[in-house]
Amino acid sequence: MGNFIQLLPDHVANQIAAGEVVQRPASVVKELMENAVDAGAEEIKLIVKDGGKTLIQVVDNGMGMSPTDARLSFERHATSKIRSAEDLFQLHTKGFRGEALASIAAIAHVDMQTRPEEEELGTHLRIEGSRVVAQEVSVTPKGTSIAVKNLFYNIPARRNFLKSNKVEFRHITDEFHRVALAHPGISFYFYHNDSELFHLNKTSQRKRIINVFGHKTDEKLVPVQEETEVVKINGFICKPEFSKKSRGEQFFFVNDRFIKSPYLHHAVQAAFEGLIKPESYPGYFLYLDVDPTSIDINIHPTKTEIKFDDEHTLYAILKSAVKHSLGQFHLAPMLDFEKDQNLETPYAYQNKEAHIPGIAVNPGFNPFQHESRISGGSGGGYGKRSTEGWENMFVDLESKSSREEAFSSVHFESEAVSGKIFPPAEEKQVNEGTTFQLRRKYIVTTIRSGMLIIDQQRAHQRVLYEKFLRNMTLKESLSQQLLFPVSLQFTPAEMNVIQELHNHLQTLGFVIELASEEDINIKGLPPLVPEKQLGSVLDTLIAEYRQENTSNSLSQSDMLAKALCRSVSVNSGDVLDPLSQLALVNDLFACKESMLSPFNKPIFITLTENEIDKKFN
């Protein structure tokens, strides 16, 4: 029998490796930027076109490469960063696998210009699908510029698999954020389709965070600092009132490398326990320094997972450091019933006499003068009302009464959460005794053959879901005008999402006005969304949208309808009065699909007389 086994040619092996290293344009961005950091650059420029599909270029002013190194850098397992297996446990660089450039060059057109400082002339190298097509001497600035064009040009399946430019661009932005946050000592610039998105000069950790996420971040940050033998922690947590429904501003850096760690995330989350609403996430930017010998980064090619020698200790230290900061900055509520009230007087006031408070009047105050929006101050991102647009109250009165009818059919859900969900006028329709609520969770009702047990939450989600979808497809948005527009703040990344979703949100009934780069004013709401929940509802929508990664308009509507119905529906535990129970049951059976919730869970079960009889036997 013959021998069949052959070694794969290099370019094939590289393509296979590329499958692991390069999932999408953002992976290329990460690898190139990390190489630039490793090269000791002080300035790194990222230039991207069409979500990275046409061009990704990283220009650095680092150490550059000799002509031989330039050529070698594209070979697989070629690296200057480790020499032996022991070095793996002494890593001080981002890269070490020597795979990135070889992988990228196997699936794209790569153009590299590089020159070490001490040389006069540099090298220009062009590679297409692992083949060197040109190498020449060139005049180029110190450092390295690598342009990656037409990613996946030779793997159509992968190229087709890429998401829309917007989605790919969002991933790139995330990657850029991570590298820029990890290295505040380096200047970063980011251009997309010829417009400058970020211009981040070398600065401190805190300023870098603010420059990336907007100046309003400043008031949110609370420093965290802890130094032990095992780990040195510094960075910031966001005050509890700024915690969000969306994950996104959670960053761990271990030895300046962004990592994902559900375990450490849990430690931070645990420290916030009791201070934030359930299912919301605190923001944090935590930089951990540990002995390189105590971690193993080698477990995933993209290197965002790390194995720690002593995870448990790290967990405990992190949790207590975060708790300490929360306490130190008086963010944790304190209840002390034993305390003598008389001791509460601040020292500075103790010996002062009380005097009658005076009234200060501003004679120049003009109540008709247009007042500008109240911004800044404490109180967080939500619920800051502005008085702008109060005139609309009157304009709106007329149109409201004409819309009354349209509202009445929708009206009851808007109050559903509070339990009493029927206007008194309709009370005559009560047909009591036909439904009752079981354990604040199920609605039990009779049918001819026996009884139905309906999950109230799922039923309500179904009803809402169909209503939202209907509004969106008919583009007939019912909107409840707010007397006082609510102003909300978002990070630039979130603002991007809001802009992308603007049309959809409008058909849902949100009337949104973009006020500035980081603020929106909400002037109208879908009638079913309680104003109190506005902030958290939008947070959820943004979070779901970012996770979903879809650019298809239909599935976007579907996703939004789902997210919205989930966040405003009645929950298990909510008490419903008999009228609301009945209304919900009727609405449910008026739905196109009444068996399954929007999330494909059964909504009700039946118990027939037969089955009941059987149980008595």
> What residues line the site for Mg ion (CB under 5 A)?
35, 95, 100
Q: How far apart are the first and last CA of the chain?
A: 72
The span from the CA of 47 to the CA of 62, in Å, is: 17
From 479, 467, 486, 461, select the one nearest 567 (Cα to Cα): 461
- Under the binding rule (CB under 6 A), the answer on residue 31 touching ligand ADP is yes
Q: Compare residues 78 and 444 and give the one whose CB is closer to ligand ADP.
A: 78
CB atoms within 10 A of CB 295: 21
Question: Which two structure tokens, joined as six digits, stand for 308?
Answer: 């720690």
* Binding segment toward ligand ADP, per CB under 6 A, in 71-79, 192-200, 251-259, 375-383: 71-79
| β-sheet bridge partners, residue 522 | 486, 512
Q: Least distance from C-beta 289 to ligand ADP, angstroms?
A: 21
Q: Which is nearer to ligand ADP, 104 or 317 (CB)?
A: 104
* Closer residue to ligand ADP (CB): 21 or 443: 21
- Residue number of the CB closest to ligand ADP reads 95
Q: Is residue 36 close enough to count as binding ligand ADP by CB under 6 A? A: yes
> CA–CA separation, 551 vs 529, rounded Å?
25
Q: How far is the CB of 97 from ligand ADP (least distance, A)?
A: 5
Among 48, 59, 63, 511, binds ligand ADP (CB under 6 A): 63
> Does residue 101 belong to the site contacting ligand ADP (CB under 6 A)?
yes
Among Mg ion, ligand ADP, none, the one that 63 touches (CB under a kind-dependent 5 to 8 A) is: ligand ADP
Identify which range of 72-80, 317-325, 419-427, 556-564 contacts ligand ADP by CB under 6 A: 72-80
Number of helices followed by number of strands (H, E) in the chain: 17, 23
357 is written with which tokens? Answer: 């408070």
Partner in contact with 557, chosen from Mg ion, ligand ADP, none, beta carbon below 5 to 8 Å by kind: none
Q: Look-up: residue for tokens 């915690």?
A: 243
Residues 95, 509, 526, 527: which binds ligand ADP (CB under 6 A)?
95
Q: 198 CB contacts (<8 Å, ≥6 apart)?
A: 176, 180, 188, 189, 190, 211, 212
Pairing of β 55-60 and β 43-49? antiparallel
**Residue from 130, 144, 261, 481 that binds ligand ADP (CB under 6 A)?**
144
Q: Is 465 in the site for ligand ADP (CB under 6 A)?
A: no
**Options 15, 73, 243, 269; binder of ligand ADP; rule CB under 6 A:** 73
Judged by CB, which is closer to Mg ion: 100, or 537? Answer: 100
Nearer to Mg ion, 74 or 412 (CB): 74
Task: Mark the segment that binds ligand ADP (CB under 6 A) among 56-64, 162-170, 437-445, 570-578.
Answer: 56-64
Closer CB to ligand ADP, residue 70 or residue 454? 70
Residue 142 in the binding site for ligand ADP (CB under 6 A): no
Residues 74-93 that bind ligand ADP (CB under 6 A): 78-81
Residue 112 binds ligand ADP, judged by CB under 6 A: no
The helix-helix angle for 534-548 and 553-568 (nearest 10°) equals 140
Structure tokens, 416? 């559903």
Select from 255, 311, 242 the least CA-distant residue to 286. 255
Taking the complex as a whole, the smallest distance from the CB of residue 264 to ligand ADP amounts, in Å, to: 25
CA-to-CA distance for 581 and 583, rounded, in angstroms?
A: 5
Judged by CB, which is closer to Mg ion: 100, or 565? 100
Site for ligand ADP in 206-245 (CB under 6 A): none
* Least Cβ distance, residue 163 to ligand ADP (angstroms): 25
Pairwise CA distance, residues 556 & 541, whole Å: 11
Q: Which does 283 bind (CB under 5 to 8 A by kind): ligand ADP, Mg ion, none?
A: none
Ranges of H-type helices in 22-141: 25-38, 67-72, 100-106
Instruction: Compute the least distance from the CB of residue 254 to ligand ADP, in Å.
Output: 18
Tokens 């400058």 locate to 196
Angstrom CA distances, 308 to 183, 227, 268, 529, stand at 22, 17, 17, 45
Q: What are phi and psi of 366, to 5 degrees?
A: -115, 110
For residue 193, the minimal CB distance to ligand ADP (Å) is 23
Minimal distance, residue 278 CB to ligand ADP, in Å: 42
By the rule CB under 6 A, 35 interacts with ligand ADP: yes
DSSP 324-378: HHHHHTT-S----TTS-GGGGS-GGGTTPPP-PPP----TT--TTSPPPPP-SSS
Q: How far apart are CA 306 and CA 290, in angstroms?
A: 12
For ligand ADP, which is the closer residue by CB, 73 or 123? 73
Q: Which pair of tokens denotes residue 601? A: 């869970």
Q: Give whichever of 116 and 578 is closer to Mg ion, judged by the CB atom.
A: 116
- Tell which one of 55, 91, 100, 314 touches ligand ADP (CB under 6 A): 100
Q: Is 130 in the site for ligand ADP (CB under 6 A)?
A: no
CB 443 within 8 A of CB 578: no
Among 18, 22, 28, 39, binds ligand ADP (CB under 6 A): 39
**Does 150 interact with ligand ADP (rule: CB under 6 A)?**
no
The residue nearest Mg ion at its CB is 95
339-360 residues labelled b (16+ CB within 10 A) or e (exposed): eeeeeeeeeeeeeeeeeeeeee
Query: What is the binding site for ligand ADP (CB under 6 A)?
Result: 31, 35-36, 39, 60, 62-65, 73, 78-81, 95-102, 144
